[in-house]
A and B are shown apart, each in its own frame.
Chain A
Amino acid sequence: PGVRKKRVVTTIVYILMLFVGASIIASIYFPCWAGGSQKIYTQFRAHSNERILANIGVDIGLQKVNVTLRFERLLSSNDLLPEVDMTKLYYNEGFDISGVSSMSEALNHALTQGLPYPMLSVLEYFSLNQDAFDWGRHYRVAGHYTNAVMWFGFACWLLSVILILLLPHDAYKSIVATGCSLLVACLLYLLMSPCELRIVFTGENLERVDLTATFSFCFYLIFANGILCIICGLGLGLCQHWRVY
């Protein structure tokens, strides 16, 4: 009822729902829940002592982690190896973290593939799965549960959409449910991902720099979406209560 009459409200809700849906799907698939990047001074390859300034980044998603490496400039090289033109070098590799051993397999694979040293370092941090060296596990477990809740949120979202179309008066409940599950997802991620992932590198000025992972885009996006959904859902509910909608 009222789709035609309450055009403004309906339009707003439609747009909002589309936005929320897109965010949910995006957040489930894109590795952007936590991450960080750092400019580092490093060696890329064996048999050489060239030192390179590079930009390394790590993006952690629910089931994937992306490691990026961008060549910035060559700092020193004084060996006999032939020069390599690395100016266009840009790595962006995604690794699966959803299985217990998938990261160590990924590391092994990367080692055989011969990825540059800094990427291997990053992978190493994720692949260990013992006692204190459990960053990968933390992210994996956090991702696993968050993923489950996100899918639940997605289901709620789908339900909301269907309800908006079919039964506008009941939609607000499922919108609130969507919001709640998104917030729960954030909360879970917050609680379960490791508080401190510090991957030690040498910085531009040869000092120690840490590549630390902080919550990034998706996390905040989902958080915002959650709040938005709850507000919007409650709003709709109130409107209904006062018979505005």
Chain B
Amino acid sequence: IHQNEEFQKYDGWYNNLANIKWGSAGSRLHRDAPSNYQDGVYAVNNSLPSARALSNLLFKGESGIPNTRNVTTLLAFFSQVVAYEIMKSNGVSCPLETLRIPVPKYDEVFDKKGEDNTEIPFIRAKYDKSTGNGLNSPREQINEVTSWLDGSFIYGTSEPWVASLRSFKNGRLLEGVPGYPPLNNPHIPLNNPAPPQIHRLMSPDRLFMLGDSRVNENPGLLSFGLILFRWHNFLADRINIDHPDWTDEQTFQAARRFVIASLQKIIAYDFVPALLGGIELDPYTKYMPHVPPGISHAFSAAAFRFPHSIVPPAMLLRKRGKKCEFRTEVGGYPALRLCQNWWNAQDIVREYSVDEIVLGMASQIAERDDNIVVEDLRDYIFGPMHFSRLDVVASSIMRGRDNGLPPYNVLRRVFSLEPKTWQTINVEFYKNHREKIEALKELYSGNIDALDSYVGGMLEGGENGPGELFIAIIKDQFQRIRDGDRFWFENRLNGLFNDQEIENIRKWTLRDIIKATTDIDETMLQKDVFFFKEGDPCPQPFQVNTTNLEPCVPFMRSTYWTDNDTTYVFTLIGLICIPIICFGIGRFLVNRRVSIGHHQACDSLNTLFPSETCSKAEVYGVNALEWIQEEYIRQVRVEIENSTMTLLKPRGRGVLRKLRFEEGQKIEIIHSIPQSSKVHGPFVLISQKRNNHIVFRLPSDYDLSQFLENITVAVRSVNAQLEARSEENYVILEHAVTKEKRQDELDHFFREAYARAFDKNDLSDGTFTINEDDEMYNETITREELASAMGMRENDVFVKRLFAMTAKQNDDSISFQEFFQSLKSFTKGTQHDKFRQIFDMCDTEGTGKVLRKDFADLIRSLNKKAGIAIDQTKEDNLIRSVIFNAGVKQKSEYLTERDFELIFGKFSDDRPVGFPVNRNQPTSDRASLNSFAVVEKSTIDISAPQTYWRNLTAFLETYRQHVFILFVFYAANIILFLERFWHYRYMTEHRDLRRVMGAGIAITRGAAGSLSFCMALVLLTVCRNLITILRETVISQFIPFDSAIGFHKIIALTAAFWATVHTVGHCVNFYHVGTQSQEGLTCLFQEAVFGSNFLPSISYWFFSTITGLTGLALVSVMCIIYVFALPCFIRRAYHAFRLTHLLNIAFYALTILHGLPKLLDSPKFGYYILGPVILFVFDRIIGLMSYYKKLDIVNAEILPSDIIFIEFRRPRSFIYKSGQWVTVSSPAISCSGNESHAFSIASSPQDSTVKLYIKAVGPWTWKLRSEIIRAQTYNSPYPLIHLKGPYGDGNQEWMNFKVAVMVGGGIGVTPYASTLNDLVQLTSQDSFNRVRCEKVYFLWVCPSHKNYEWFVDVLKEVEKQDRKGIIETHIFVTQVFNKFDLRTTMLYICEQHFRGTNSGVSMFTGLHAQNHFGRPDFKSIFRWIANRHEDQEEIGVFSCGPNQLNEKISEGCSEANRNHATNLDLVISENAVNLQYDMLCEFDHL
């Protein structure tokens, strides 16, 4: 041996010159007989009998039949060493292919109870993936170790493995305790299944670190592992002594060479003959490079499994020393049972030492070379956790089928042996066990050509070891290994050993190795350790059989799931709870806001108790906060004087409310439980009959008691009753009937009454049955309420009279029935009846005559509240002329009934009332125009289906772009889903996904794909700045940008759907994952590597993987986002919505993290969102670039109806179009963070300032209002304002239409202030402009003019400038009911007269614009407009206002489109979204 001979690679490569891969670890098994797959490619033959049945039939039998050749068990265990040295071909292939071996009923081990449903699992072996695809390359299994006899059993097959075994000193292998390798602390990949007798996974730390991963399997095998390990160190030491100058590496390699050589010698020349009953390999001639060394299928799957038959059920242990003493007590039994020690060998070896085991093996006679396999192997070999015991024989039979081994006779023929018949396989056996052969024949249906070669081969065995087939196979295999090996020790060409050395090696036997590595004395060991011959030292005391041995722990089944139940269930419950919790939090926020009245942080101004002291010393007074509605609290001073309680404005500026206690009245006071809140003072609710409750908050509990005392005195003084009790805050507030709440009730009341009076179901809120228990029936209204419902004052003559006339039962309230009756008489009665009614109203004395003055008063009182813009004298003139024109005699003091008839008679029933009269219009036009202020029955009566069809087409016509986009969107979703679905369901199955999760994986991945798409797209819909830019381009023709936010919601909902599918799907998937065995998991999650003693539980997947954790986090985040985006929360907790919407950043970040670990597949989310994110970022950058800071408010005003007007400096670069909007924020006002709010620009682009009209609706706007009031009262500077924008809006496109209709409702008119101004300014200059408009109809829907005086001013300005008469304005005043209303009739009459005498200027507004009383009927309006502009192809309809209004408009549009060639293009402005429909219910807080 030299220092530097050629190094033999551990992995067996490059041994053969021509075929570098021959014999290497990981090469294919050698196929020397044709394959026998059912389909010729890879499928296992299923028609063959159950392997377990075969095993039971032939291989079952008594143990303890001694070997006829006196073979020792040492041979049995050494053959395992040999097997592991050259082959490992039962690795697991991915995807896992599990076959099931049916277990016959009443199987003694696996089916004791006779349930007949047990199946032994069998996993198909790892194979070369490039095979098994075609008939000419059937599946070829892989040998994971080298087929060379190269000590891979000792050293392993890879360099890292060797490196971890070496000590790197003196060429030795690393030792733990002397003589033993270290334990597997570093966790090199040793096999470490759960020992079936313990049935749980054990730490790999207990195992010995040796070259073969399977070496710890049983004590016999491990002992050989240790002996060979010591043998290496022994040789290394010897070499070191001979060559002290050699380095570690040289010594190691030299020792290795010797170890290999000795192994080669022993295996080829001692072991093989011993096994084969004396048959020797042919003498070595020379290295034959053309001989393939590969392990053949027949060898690995059948022939070399023959030694199973000689394995004993237990091992005798023999004590060291010359005495020949066997251990009689091994854990309580005379011998060491195999089945109870699988994978626990290291304990045994350490306890009893290698020596005792080897000595025992050398003495113990093995089982007979027959077909019988002991139960330790056949029934109780180790298995996976879910099936803890397996059957080696059944597995071997299956392995043969798995490897496509040819049937017995075919294999025989291949090895030049003549085929056999059932009788001749084993003549002797046939003689003795004829019935078994018959039964076998039966199983194979008499077809000997189907007989598994393993079965046949095993049957052949007899007195002299294996039968001829197995002998042939084994001999051939070892010869090939020997002859093909360039590094074979006898090969002189490799230059490894010289003749001398070869001679020496030839003399080595296993006995020498044992002697060298143990303390075993020469005399204690027979010469040939494989046999126990006569005269050999120390014969076994008895032939071991199972009778006196420890019984085997029976097989156990377990699902891996067992322990996961609770975790899983609780996780699911938790997941379900998340949205509920979010919802709860939301409710809490809303409630808190309700009860505190304001966002706490913003309370600085509004909720400070006023600080001034009492003005008059003798009057009790206290400062308080009046709670008016959810968002609004005002400072008040409460004073009690005598029998009145007054609410005053702070700083003594006027009375807000007055409560007079009257005799016999019942006054109810509910107040907070004292000490209920530390932060806020107690609430007090005072209710007096027929009044809204007064709710206010006192500074402290002390004040409460004071207040109660005082009010008691006050009430007592007039003999009224007082009832006081305490309640929880929220009960009080819930209970409180505030104006707002009452208003809702009243609305309901009136609507219901009208609905019934006019048979108009659509007005009604609910069921249209008159029901005596109906709450409605008991509802009464006061005069004040009636007045305010009519938009008049309580003390107005008209109201008084109407009320007096209607209220029959009780003079201070009207019941529903009464109201209903009088309404009916107005509507259903004849013309005459109506005049009679009016006449009665005026006729206060009941004399049958009406004083002219009374009549005038009545009319005046009517006009007052309607916001008449004329002075007293004009009004008098007007009334006079009305009467005169009617033909009533000038002189008369009185008006008679006939006069009334004259006045009103002009207006017959068929002539609806509310209408504009435009003098320039031809009458035919007028007729149709007249009708459009009123809700009238549709004249078109088409059968239902046709209507649907027409509706549908009209709808499609109007929303064609929307429909198209939605179609594309959903199509994309579905395509993406199906693509992924298809991919995972039918395409590549590169891993185990499909087997484990079935359609689940396809569905979840599909959902994830679509979800990614949605999440990407949803970003695009909120790129406001980009949309603003794109609006100006051609694209806007195809994409309805106005609906961006609507689309945003649709996408979000779709995403929610996919996310739900995905999450539910994965919860199911991970249930399946939780039931997987370790092998299954390694296939499934290649990316995750688990320790051999770790079985991931469901809690691991959910709580310890990034994907699981982020998944759960995503569920929470999504729930929060979505719950707070619910309309009810947006409306009442907008702030929370904004804040939670910021979580979107986390949402995307988490989703990226979610996919990052590549748990199941490589993440794709990034690709989806890359583009949109870039666009979104750009959008935000543009946003930041158009961010103007710190603008001064130059002018501000508080207008009626809580409207705030602000005007601020316009930044130089701030360029906008009319109709666009901006977002405004102000650090001084912000409640938390710098929240920004959207407002439409009301100034025209030509102005030098920006004007906004803001309606106070919530915290921010109220605060703004307070700030401005404060600034005005204290003359301090206004808050500074930050501005972002402008943002585009549908309204800006008006100039592209020749005819445009603009509809503004409530505060929604603001954009039109800008638009109209812009329009007239552009068109009044004669120079070229881009405005195409030829006619613009502006429809303004408002509760009453009074609330929007500012807008009237705007309109006046517009009318003045609009010299060309492009704009035609119609004003719809909704606070008066409609044509049936008496008041409307009167107003109309007056208005008409006024116009007549004042060149068409309205008496209400001073405008030329037409006034209509009542809600607009858009259907007829649009029909009329469409008729009028029949030549136009398109008419633009722009709308901005409350939702209900928009709905009506779009209905109207589609209706009109249905009937006309002209197409109405509907654009609903974005700020329509959040405005409330304030038709009936707008009132003044001032």
What residues make up the interface of A, taking CB atoms closer than 8 Å to B? 43, 45-49, 51, 76, 78-79, 100-101, 108, 111-112, 114, 117, 121, 124-125, 128-134, 137, 144-145, 148, 159, 162-163, 166-167, 170, 198-200, 202, 205-208
Contact = CB atoms under 8 A, between A and B. Distances in A.
Given A79-B495, A100-B1086, A117-B7, A128 B249 contact: no
B187 A46 contact: no
B9 A117 contact: yes
Contacts of A101: 1086
A76 B4 contact: yes
B160 A206 contact: no
Nearest to A127: B158
B249 A208 contact: yes
A48 B6 contact: yes
Given A111-B13, A132-B187, A159-B1177, A208 B168 contact: yes
Given A111-B24, A124-B160, A202-B249, 8 more contacts: A46-B9, A47-B17, A76-B4, A124-B158, A132-B164, A133-B158, A133-B160, A144-B1158
B1165 to A, nearest CB: 11
A51 B161 CA distance: 23
Contacts of B6: 43, 46-49, 79
Given A125-B160, A131-B1091, A206 B204 contact: no
Contacts of A167: 1181, 1184-1185
12 contacts: A46-B6, A46-B13, A46-B14, A49-B6, A125-B159, A129-B1089, A145-B1156, A148-B1152, A200-B159, A205-B247, A206-B247, A208-B248
Given A100-B1087, A111-B13, A206 B188 contact: no
B974 to A, nearest CB: 30
A207 B247 contact: yes
Contacts of A166: 1181, 1185
A18 B1148 CA distance: 28
B5 interface: yes
A162 B9 CA distance: 56
A121 to B, nearest CB: 5
What 8 pairs across the A-B complex have the smallest Cβ distances? A46-B14, A130-B189, A206-B247, A131-B189, A49-B6, A100-B1086, A200-B163, A132-B187
Interface string B1-22: 0001111010101110100110
B1092 interface: yes
B159 A49 contact: no
B186 interface: yes
A46 B21 CA distance: 12
Interface string B155-191: 0001111011010100000000000000000111110
Interface in B1167-1183: 1177, 1181
Given A46-B6, A162-B1181, A200-B163, A133 B189 contact: yes
Interface in B996-1043: none
Interface of B: 4-7, 9, 11, 13-15, 17, 20-21, 24, 26, 158-161, 163-164, 166, 168, 186-190, 204, 247-250, 495, 1086-1087, 1089, 1091-1092, 1152, 1156, 1158, 1177, 1181, 1184-1185
Contacts of B163: 198, 200
Contacts of A128: 158, 160, 189
B249 A49 contact: no
Contacts of A78: 4
A170 B1091 CA distance: 48
A146 to B, nearest CB: 11
A51 B204 CA distance: 39
A132 B1089 CA distance: 10
A190 B250 CA distance: 37
A159 B20 CA distance: 54
A208 B158 CA distance: 18
A227 B161 CA distance: 41
Nearest to B253: A202
A112 B13 CA distance: 9
- Chief secondary structure at chain A's binding surface: mixed
B634 to A, nearest CB: 41
B161 A121 contact: no
A238 to B, nearest CB: 20
Contacts of B13: 46, 111
Contacts of A200: 159, 163, 166, 168
A137 B1090 CA distance: 12
Contacts of A46: 6, 9, 13-15, 20
Nearest to A51: B4
A121 B13 CA distance: 12
Residue in A78, A112, A125, A200 with the greatest tally of chain B CB atoms within 10 Å: A200
A131 to B, nearest CB: 4
A90 to B, nearest CB: 22
Nearest to A205: B247
B1204 to A, nearest CB: 31
Most buried by B among A78, A79, A132, A163: A132
Contacts of B247: 202, 205-207
Nearest to A75: B4
Given A46-B14, A124-B158, A208-B249, A163 B1181 contact: yes
A208 B1181 CA distance: 59
Contacts of B187: 131-132
Contact of A49 (B4, B160, B168): B4
A45 B26 CA distance: 20
A133 B184 CA distance: 13
Given A47-B6, A170-B1184, A208-B168, A131 B1092 contact: yes
B169 to A, nearest CB: 9
A63 B889 CA distance: 105
A205 to B, nearest CB: 8
Contacts of B26: 108
A131 B204 contact: yes
A73 to B, nearest CB: 15
Given A145-B1156, A163-B1181, A167-B1184, A49 B188 contact: no
Contacts of B20: 46, 111-112, 114
B64 to A, nearest CB: 40
Contacts of B7: 43, 49, 117
Contacts of B1087: 100
A108 B158 CA distance: 13
Contacts of B168: 200, 208
B14 A112 contact: no
Nearest to A45: B14
Contacts of A134: 1089
Contacts of A137: 1089
Nearest to A202: B249
A125 to B, nearest CB: 5
A131 B13 CA distance: 24
Nearest to B17: A47
Contacts of B1158: 144
A38 to B, nearest CB: 14
Nearest to B1085: A100
A162 B163 CA distance: 52
A206 B1091 contact: no
Nearest to B246: A206
A206 B171 CA distance: 12
A223 B460 CA distance: 72
Contacts of A163: 1181
A244 to B, nearest CB: 19
B1189 to A, nearest CB: 10
A131 B189 CA distance: 5
A130 B1089 contact: yes
Most chain A beta-carbon neighbours within 10 Å: one of B163, B187, B204: B163
A61 B897 CA distance: 104
> Which of B248, B249, B250, B1091 has most chain A Cβ within 10 Å?
B249
Nearest to A162: B1181
| Most chain A CB neighbours (cut-off 10 Å) among B11, B15, B158, B159 | B159
Given A49-B6, A131-B187, A200-B168, A206 B249 contact: yes
Chain B CB count within 10 A is highest, among A49, A129, A131, A159, for A131
